[in-house]
Structures are given as structure tokens and as C-alpha cells.
Amino acid sequence: MQLKPLLEKIYPLHRTLASDGTDEALGIVREAMPSAAEFTVETYTPGAPIWSWQVPERYLVHEAYLETEQGQRVIDFADNPLHLVSYSLPVDKTLTWDELEPHLFYSDERPGAIPWNYNYYQRDWGFCLAKDVFETLPQDIRYRAVIRSEFLTDPKDGGFRVGAGVLHPEGGPVPEAGEFLISSHICHPMQANDDAAGVVTAVEVAHRLAEKPLPPGSMSVRFWCGPETIGTIAYLAHHEDLIRRLKGGIFVEMTGNENTIAWHHTRQHNHLLDRITAHVLRDTEHVERDFADFPPNDERVINGPGVNVPCISVNRWPYSEYHTTDDNPDIIHESMLQGAADVIEQIIRICATNYRPKRNFRGPLFLSGNDLWVDWQENFALNRSYEKIMMSFEGGNSVFDIAEEVGLDYWMVREYVEKFRVKGFIEALPVPSEADTE
């Protein structure tokens, strides 16, 4: 599917932690997801405790503007939602320049762009504008700052929302195999690459897995979308039973700009997921970073204290337009969105199909008598390795571990190992969970 048109639907909406724009964006994602995922939106009550946090209030802006005392409007939220510092308190004041200036924000690096600023938890108020405009404002006059905003706590007003859907392998879910999590955040008003890009890349991966499902016995893949950090906290706090089923995750963001693909390690650093990611990207130009290196996001929750599900991050950071009005569809490239989806799909397909072969036989198997011998003239590399492969069926090493050890392609080794499983010579044990469920 074409991803940039979908991104352009999400991009202009006023998407904060909880707002009408966020709800509309989640509705767009729900419609775009494959029906098999059964993507649904959940609503949580503002103020409710979620671990050490609280569910945020819903933010409603009726109007917000800055004008001169004579009524000349200088800044207007109606022109661009980035003009308002997100979650600004209500205000209606006439101010001198010295009183006003601490509430004005601009970008030194991109003087022609409006920056995006936010103040979710340490509440204040403010306006954002291009530095070029800021420098034209007279300092010897008074200004009137007006922000008519509300912080809504009644669930009847819409509450706080996130969305999730699950794609199962052929034959249906396999509880012991567990799930793999794909996460992207829907918030950030008028930002295209951060992170409407990550959202649409995740949608594309979902479509690929729906059109070509994972084979029987594989993990299910859960696609989650919501406000950054606090949305993941709220979702997992409401679904703590899910944590023990999660075997790994990928946080997806900033995938549309024209830059090299980058990935951040898991908190474990040398986990199976790290090795699979390095394997997938071995022939691709890429950047490798530590866990939660800048920009850190929801992997800090998924792979953080008390959850600890191994999670990498995939992005195309850095880019100079970040958190300004220059982060718009003009910098988004379809090929970059699709290229990120290629990488993520490959990682998922290996992680979700991987298992630990445990033998049900004694002694060296009679390979040729069971149609398991490999003719060296047909596949010399596999012929040289089948003894090592067979000797590894002790339930400790996964198929990927075995392929890595013998230096062969994962899919070649898995296809061969599957022949043993089909004949009943091995049992497929799931990759164990490392999630913290205490």
C-alpha cells in the first residue's frame, strides 16, 4: 500500500496526549489496519493510577492567540497548533514585553520555522513562533495573551485513548509461542516524521503479515499505537497479564526522512533480538546505537524496570527539521517508509518463527533412511553442516543460534530443521520470555 497519503491524513491533526485530534488519528489507523488485526481503541479514565503515574487529562483548546493591545493578532492557534505550547494553562492577560518574553519560544537552528514545545506535567503556558517573526515584535508595547483551554477528567468527555490489534499465525494463536510487539506513537501535533511516519510504517508491516501470514506455531504479532511513553504505561498497566506473553518488541519512529536506517540495542544489549537485527542489517548501511540512546522513547517502558521485554528501536534519526513546522510531508519519502518496513518485517519473521529444537531420538539419526540426508552436489554448505545442526537439538539453542553457529542463512537452516520436526524427531520449544512478571 502507499503510505505517504495515509501519513498526510494523520499529519495535520492536533494530536496531543489526549485530544479530539488524537482520537481522529486513532480512527484513521483503525480503518487502515488489516481487518484480521481487529484493531480496537481502548479508553482510560483520566486521573486513574497507572503504576507510579496517572492517566493524563484530556486537553481541549477552544482558541489561543497573542495580539497587541491595539488588537493586531501576532500568533493564532487556528493557523497552526504548534503556535501553542501543548497543555498550556488557560490565560487571559495583558503583559509588558518583559512579562511576555519568558513565554515565547523559537528555534535558533531553524529561524524560519515554528518549534513544537510542550509542558505536559509541569504546567505553565506559552506560545511558539518563528525566530524571524519574534525579532520583528516591538518591545515597547503591551500584548494580550489569550488561551481558552480545558483539562477534562470526566470519561464522558472522551478520556485517554490508545489502540491495539493482533495478527495471528496460520492456524491461529499459539499461547506458548507468545507475542511480538510493534509499537509506534500517534501524538505530536503537525509532525510528519515524528511520528506519523512510524505509525504508517507499522501499518504497512501489519498488511504484509496479513497478506502473507506467519507459519503455524509462530508468535502472534501485536500492533500498538498511542501517545508516547504514558500511553504504553497506561496500556501495560491495564494489561499486566500480557507482559509475560511478550517475547520481544520493536519501537518504530521517524522512518520517512531521507537518512540511513538506525537501530538501538535492547537493554540486554546482546539479546537474541539484537543478534537477529544485526543479521538482518548485515548487508545494509546502518547506524547502531545503545539502548535508549537519543532519541529514547517507548522502549524505555517495554524494556524498562518491571517489564523488561527485550525491545529495540528503529528510526532514521537525526534530521534537522525535528520538532518544528519543517517536519512536514515535504521531507517524507515513500521509499524510506517502505525500506523501514522491509527491515522490520524481516526481523519479525525471524523472531516470530524461531524456536528451540529438542530431540526425541538417541544416537546419530539415520538421515538417508529418513529422507533427511543432504546431497553435497545440491547444497554443499548444508551438507557440510548437517552433523553440527543435528548435534544441536538439545533444547538450549534456537534455530537462529544454530544457523549463526554454522554460518548459514536462517531460512535455509529452519527449512531443514522443520523436516526433523515434521517427522517427529524433534519438539519445537518456544523461545523463553525474559519479561519481569514479579
In the prediction, which pLDDT does 60 show? 97
In the prediction, which pLDDT does 305 show? 96
Q: Going residue by residue through the chain (438 aa), what tens digit of pLDDT does each one get?
A: 999 999 999 999 999 999 999 999 999 999 999 999 999 999 999 999 999 999 999 999 999 999 999 999 999 999 999 999 999 999 999 999 999 999 999 999 999 999 999 999 989 999 999 999 999 999 999 999 999 999 999 989 999 999 999 999 999 999 999 999 999 999 999 999 999 999 999 999 999 999 999 999 999 999 999 999 999 999 999 999 999 999 999 999 999 999 999 999 999 999 999 999 999 999 999 999 999 999 999 999 999 999 999 999 999 999 999 999 999 999 999 999 999 999 999 999 999 999 999 999 999 999 999 999 999 999 999 999 999 999 999 999 999 999 999 999 999 999 999 999 999 999 999 999 999 876
The number of beta carbons lying within 10 Å of the beta carbon of residue 377 is 7
Secondary structure of 340-369 in the HEC alphabet? HHHHHHHHHHHHHHCCEEEECCCCCCCCHH
Residues 6+ apart with CB under 8 A from 85: 105, 117, 118, 119, 124, 125, 126, 127, 128
The number of beta carbons lying within 10 Å of the beta carbon of residue 125 is 18
In the prediction, which pLDDT does 436 show? 82
Dist CA 58 CA 310 (whole Å): 31
Dist CA 375 CA 368 (whole Å): 10
In the prediction, which pLDDT does 438 show? 67
**pTM over 0.85, yes/no:** yes
Here the cell at position 183 is: 509499537
In the prediction, which pLDDT does 437 show? 72
Q: Which domains, and CATH codes, for the chain?
A: 4-56+157-353 (3.40.630.10), 60-151 (3.50.30.90), 356-429 (1.10.10)
